[in-house]
Structure 1
C-alpha cells in the first residue's frame, strides 16, 4: 500500500461514518416513536423501538471497545 493510503486507513474513517449513520437512524426511530399517537403505540411499535435501542447499545459498546 502507498503511504497515503496507510495514513487514511489509520484514521479509521469507516467505523466513524458507520456509527454516525447508525446514530442518525436511531434518532429517526426514536423521533418516529415519540410522534406516534397514543392509539398507534402498540406492542409491536414498542418492541421495534426496544430492539433497535438494544442493538444500538451493543454496537456502541463494541465501537468503544475497539477504540485505541
Structure 2
C-alpha cells in the first residue's frame, strides 16, 4: 500500500494502545457486554473511553 496509508494505520494503532492504557488505568478490562478491550478496534475503544469518561464526570452524576 501507499506511504500515507501506512502512516495512518500506525497512528491508529498507537492511539489504540493509548486508549487501552487509559481504560486499564480506570480499571476497565471489558465492555458491558463482556468483550475484552483487547478485542476492540480503534473506534470501539474510543467510544468505550468516552462512555467511561461520561459516567465518571461529576456533572453527569444524575444520568
The verdict on a shared fold, with TM-score over 0.5 as the criterion, is: no
Bigger RCO of structures 1 and 2 (CA < 8 A, at least 6 apart):
1
State the TM-score, normalizing by the size of structure 2. Answer: 0.44
Which of these two proteins has the greater Rg computed from alpha carbons? 1
State the TM-score, normalizing by the size of structure 1. Answer: 0.41
